[in-house]
């Protein structure tokens, strides 16, 4: 077994006897759909503190375009939604979890509507659309392509009206405080307030994904895998880290961020064409442009290789202009800023890293193996998505698992006896060698390496190269003690990248979003199982 440079238990030196202390019943780390849903439920039972490393609405939720997959339309059923989800997951879904989340979904969405979420309607009825992998029109959206933002702002309004919830913005959580397999809160840092120890009876991780470990990603800058890394350092089990979903269609123009061209564009009739103008998806899958995301991403990559081109195009010129402008106002605005009229021009697109399917292993109540610690949303691995997430299931999962995490954490503190009593805890890094490091250069090199060697297509040679390079960088970055988020985020990204790579090397088959050129077939005999990673005890 290869020996790795395991990260130190904590990223910083601290002493509880000389640190600032904050006390709350329930600590929620992260402010996306799952975190805020958890906070709202937990606040029914005690005081809640939401900590987020940027402003409250800077997260993956706010950037989500497509919509929420939910069984609310006439003729649709829970069973149909379950089948589509399990089919997309290619043998690795936890069917009980799929059933629980999908069954609870309508109640959570209706609750959101009661709080003021304005989903798109026609004649006072919700509008439902279809996306890849769905056999039914069950996707609801808000303002065309701004669903995540509408959900996020609805939850923020609800949170800010609640006197039991406090919010710390621009506060970076470096690590969880644990003792004897129990979580007691976290260590956090604020540029003006400095370091603080936040003591909590229950802690809920809702820190989102890790798309920033890849050069091409739809994720915002904050998605650096911090929750995954701090959970690993604390001894939590992570699962399915090899399954990173790449969204098939993101805007590809020099100078543009990898802006998502939502799957709903294809659901509305968008056609994928190569550089010669030829439609190609029917040759790869009977559902063509509405095939599951892993199929579309891999097909686009093959087409790019065949035509020796950096991207393909999505064609929506045949859809009436008025409909396009009404359905996709944000996409129209972004494309227009680069001189593209979506009603007249082809939109250049290519895949980008989009969603971490794996994460912190949790049970149906979002509990981890560490007592008093929960995880929900993208940072968690519920087993709902298996090897490939069905489009628009993530916001649904965040709503349901966030609700359940907050409710369970809240109810559990009612049963707990006694006050929250801090204890003495110290960490001295020691032996950290001082050297000049260009952190941005290492970060950019890491992102390029992960995109090239652990991206949409993988093989043993490239994964081994990635493993060796990441380990080399870890050897002289992990022993340093940094004093700001730039350094901490790099350490977290290196750790998460290593977990992705070693899991991808171990899974010697192709399944869902994990495609290996050297093992192109799905092997149910040996690999219809989950890969777990957990820190070895030092």
Residues acting as catalytic residues = 293
Give the three-state DSSP class for 446.
Answer: helix
Q: Would you tell me the crossing angle of helices 460-477 and 439-453 to the nearest 10 degrees?
A: 160
Q: Which helix (H) or strand (E) holds 150?
A: helix 147-160
CB environment 18-45: b (16+ within 10 A), e (fewer): ebeebbbbbbbbbbbbbbbbbbbbbbeb
Spatial contact of 385 and 244, defined as CB atoms under 8 Å apart? no
Integer CA distances (angstroms), 342 to 26, 147, 254, in order: 46, 20, 18
Q: What is the DSSP letter of 142?
A: S
Residue the block writes with tokens 């069984």: 71
Q: How many CA atoms lie within 13 A of 284 on its CB side?
A: 21
Instruction: Give the whole-angstrom CA distance, residue 190 versus residue 344.
Output: 48
59: nearest Cα among 381, 533, 398: 398
Q: What is the DSSP letter of 514?
A: B
Instruction: Give the whole-angstrom CA distance, residue 307 versus residue 282.
Output: 17
Instruction: Give the whole-angstrom CA distance, residue 240 versus residue 342.
Output: 37
Bridge partners (DSSP) of residue 29 are 51, 205
Bridge partners (DSSP) of residue 352 are 247
Spatial contact of 195 and 14, defined as CB atoms under 8 Å apart? yes
Spatial contact of 227 and 29, defined as CB atoms under 8 Å apart? yes
Between CA 78 and CA 288, with CA 291 as vertex, the angle to 5 degrees is 135
DSSP annotation string for 257-305: ---B--THHHHTT-EEE-TTS-B-GGGT-TTGGGS-HHHHHHHHHHHHH
User: Both tokens of residue 61?
Assistant: 């939720």
């Amino acid at each position: 077994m290869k020996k790795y440079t395991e990260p130190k238990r904590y990223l910083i030196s601290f002493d509880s006897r000389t640190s600032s202390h904050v006390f709350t019943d329930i600590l929620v780390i992260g402010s996306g759909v799952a975190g805020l849903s958890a906070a709202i439920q937990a606040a029914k039972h005690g005081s809640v503190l939401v900590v987020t490393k940027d402003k409250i609405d800077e997260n993956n939720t706010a950037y989500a375009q497509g919509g929420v997959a939910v069984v609310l339309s006439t003729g649709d059923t829970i069973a149909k939604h379950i089948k589509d989800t399990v089919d997309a997951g290619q043998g690795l879904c936890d069917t009980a979890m799929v059933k629980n989340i999908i069954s609870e979904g309508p109640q959570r969405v209706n609750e959101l509507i009661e709080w003021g979420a304005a989903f798109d309607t026609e004649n006072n009825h919700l509008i439902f659309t279809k996306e890849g992998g769905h056999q039914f029109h069950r996707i609801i959206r808000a303002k065309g392509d701004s669903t995540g933002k509408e959900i996020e702002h609805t939850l923020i309004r609800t949170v800010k009206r609640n006197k039991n919830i406090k919010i710390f913005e621009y506060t970076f959580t470096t690590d969880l405080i644990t003792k004897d397999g129990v979580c007691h809160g976290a260590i956090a840092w604020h540029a003006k307030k400095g370091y603080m120890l936040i003591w909590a009876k229950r802690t809920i991780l809702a820190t989102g994904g890790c798309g920033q470990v890849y050069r091409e990603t739809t994720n915002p800058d904050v998605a650096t895998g911090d929750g995954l890394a701090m959970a690993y350092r604390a001894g939590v089990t992570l699962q399915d880290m090899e399954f990173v979903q790449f969204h098939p269609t993101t805007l590809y123009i020099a100078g543009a961020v990898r802006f998502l061209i939502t799957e709903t564009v294809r659901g509305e009739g968008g056609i994928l064409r190569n550089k010669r103008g030829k439609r190609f998806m029917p040759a790869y899958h009977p559902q063509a442009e509405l095939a599951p995301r892993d199929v579309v991403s891999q097909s686009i990559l093959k087409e790019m290789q065949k035509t020796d081109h950096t991207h393909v195009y999505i064609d929506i010129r045949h859809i009436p202009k008025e409909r396009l402008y009404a359905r996709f106002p944000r996409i129209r605005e972004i494309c227009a800023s680069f001189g593209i009229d979506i009603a007249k021009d082809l939109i250049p697109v290519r895949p980008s890293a989009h969603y971490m399917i794996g994460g912190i292993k949790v049970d149906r109540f979002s509990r981890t193996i560490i007592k008093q610690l929960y995880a929900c949303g993208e940072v968690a691995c519920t087993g709902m998505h298996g090897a490939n997430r069905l489009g628009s299931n993530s916001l649904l999962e965040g709503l349901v698992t966030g609700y359940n995490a907050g409710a369970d954490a809240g109810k559990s503190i009612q049963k707990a006896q006694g006050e929250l009593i801090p204890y003495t805890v110290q960490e001295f890094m020691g032996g950290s060698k001082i050297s000049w490091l260009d952190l941005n250069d290492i970060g950019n090199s890491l992102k390029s390496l992960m995109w090239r060697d652990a991206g949409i297509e993988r093989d043993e040679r490239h994964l081994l190269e990635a493993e060796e390079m990441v380990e080399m960088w870890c050897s002289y970055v992990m022993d340093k003690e940094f004093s700001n988020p730039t350094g901490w985020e790099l350490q977290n990204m290196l750790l998460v990248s290593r977990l992705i790579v070693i899991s991808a090397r171990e899974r010697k088959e192709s399944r869902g979003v994990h495609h290996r050129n050297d093992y192109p077939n799905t092997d149910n005999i040996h690999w219809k199982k989950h890969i777990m990673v957990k820190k070895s005890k030092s």
